[in-house]
Structure 1
């Protein structure tokens, strides 16, 4: 464990997605320091100050100029990311950013390249990788204990009511870059790719169901071929009431692993079984933030260590491009109705 503050982080953007970050930073007190928070609506920053005691910055320029700030957590809507990252990278501030990297694959690539040119550590918040059950599954895959991967099934049967999409810009191309794929399913898809390796081709269907009025998709289904020879499927939606836990199934030649929410069950062909993890909310129902802050806490602490030791973030910006490329391919295939290649990143 870290015994003293490694870095001082500022938090930019104090919307809904910031809650687990703030709770995690409070738990990390004494190990990671908060140099201040900033929000364009100052009243939100003052409310956070009153609750957590974190200082308030008056502007992005003040954060960039602050010698005591080593990095920033950016939790703004996606359409604000490029400008903020450019400003912070120019000032030498490392960046831990909420998903997605940007609204499109090309814009995400630009951000990653910008940080690399400036020598900035760029980490992306894919907290599902930090669940105990997901970590155990990663070990089983990497060690070969599941055997050769044959089939992959990702199911994200989540729910968002219309009020969620009535918030200005939510589910739009201009602000978010898409619907269920880039805003919700991206977490499970990133975890999937961290286990399977890159996807090769996609055949998809995307749609907006009659349950929502929104610009982009609330349903996506895709068949995928992976570079390692496995095949698989993805079904993602925010139109399943009242919402269920996501499920990721890996069928190998030696065992089948089922990761449902925060619980992993492995059944080997020789009759052995293993269960890891515990039931916990994942944000799949009416409350998108109904999950603990533990995963964010571990992710932020790892980011602090990465900066201190000049190492990579747990999920770097460049690694995050893989899930952006997959989402881009699913979207293109859904629009064209034909199989498409996943861009190599």
Structure 2
């Protein structure tokens, strides 16, 4: 059985501990707050408690580290783990910039470990089914998509010191909230080609945006709208895909089951293969953690790879670049030397 450790024992760490179940032995936790770490270790019956990743790697034999720290620590700690040959499952966003992503990719090439990013909504049964049907052409060509993450986060939420700043969180709802929905969209529609976007600071006293919107074209000809907000009192996460032969939709908040999806066939068409599943499984950490340890047991690279995550991170960088420069941005355009390569803030938000 694999030996796992959790680094960062804040709110999301419990989701990782619960998702591990009997797939791995949770042998240690790490946190700079010793009291919090020991309380978490007691709650989850974890024998080891360490103040740093360096101490963890020096004193424990671990196969997988679950990184649950604030975003600014993700890339540096993942690099430490890769240097020790340890695989990492890192919470989103996996890094703060494309430069950090490329540093991780380079380090992974020299390591026996891997880095996977938590994009758990890819792993719900309905999303897997939709990807299979879409790839097989059962739904016809994808034509139109909409992706909305309309959430609400009040001022108290942003009172946490690392939230709402470019240096510590890397961005606003584009980086930290809507990322789950449009990552799922990207995993289904494939490579994106161009983004035209805007971002605004409507209500929250933060450095970053609290709303962003984008118009996206894809290599396969599909077009999409993406909205990310943390100022929307009636919260919803929604995706809609209009194919030639059917509309496929999901509405949920933080996790979906099959019951949250609807399929509307176009006149004269049917989608019988969609009915092959009627799962009550909720898309969440358990689905992805199971897929990760299944891959490791088979000696395979775990999903979601750094290449997968980089595509989503490039989408974010391009959205900010388009919004802040008022120009369309194409895939591959943000490379070393571009200000948005080293920081999502790039040339600076208009309101700064």
What is the TM-score of this pair, normalised by structure 1?
Answer: 0.88
Aligned to 1:23: 18
1:183 aligns with 2:176: yes
Match for residue 42 of structure 1 among 34, 40, 52: 34
Q: Could you give the per-residue CA deviations for residues 78-121 of structure 1, whole angstroms, max 9, x where no partner exists?
A: 21123212221111111111111111122122112212221322
Q: Is the 1:180–1:218 contact (alpha carbons within 8 Å) kept by the matching residues of 2?
A: yes
Cα offset, 1:277, TM superposition: 6.3
After superposition, what is the alpha-carbon deviation per residue over 1:171-197, rounded to whole angstroms, capped at 9, x for unaligned?
210101000001001111110110000
Residues 1:246 and 2:237 aligned together: yes
Q: Which moved more, 1:253-262 or 1:186-195?
A: 253-262
Which consecutive residues of structure 2, in runs of 5 or more, have no partner in the other structure? 336-352
2:265 maps to 1:268: yes
The answer to whether the aligner puts 1:117 opposite 2:110 as a matched pair is: yes
Structure 1 residue runs of 5 or longer lacking an equivalent are: 281-291
Secondary structure of 1:215's counterpart equals: coil
Mapped pair 1:95 → 2:88: yes
**Partners of 1:85 and 1:111 within 8 A in 2:** yes
Give the secondary-structure state (helix, strand or coil) at the position aligned to 2:262: strand
Report how many residues are paired: 323
Separation in structure 2 between the aligned mates of residue 215 and residue 88 of structure 1, nearest angstrom: 31
- Equivalent position of 1:158 in the other structure: 151
| Aligned-residue RMSD, C-alpha | 2.0
Q: What's 1:316 paired with? A: 305
Distance in structure 1 (CA, Å) of the matches to 2:122 and 2:100:
24
Q: How does 1:1-345 map to 2 (within 5 A)?
A: 5=1, 7-25=2-20, 28-29=21-22, 31-58=23-50, 59-66=52-59, 68-209=61-202, 211-243=203-235, 245-261=236-252, 262=256, 263-269=260-266, 270=268, 272=270, 295-343=284-332
Provide the C-alpha distance between the structure 1 equivalents of 2:59 and 2:284, rounded to a whole number of angstroms: 28
Going from structure 1 to structure 2, the CA distance change for 1:278 and 1:167 (only over 3 Å counts) comes to farther
Q: Deviation above 3 Å: which 4+ runs of structure 1? A: 271-280
Give a deviation string over 1:16-49, Cα, whole Å, max 9, x none.
2222112222xx13x3111211111011111112
d(CA) in 2 for partners of 1:44, 1:343? 42
Mapped contact 2:70–2:162 kept (Cα < 8 A): no
Q: Distance in 2 between matches of 1:77 and 1:99?
A: 9
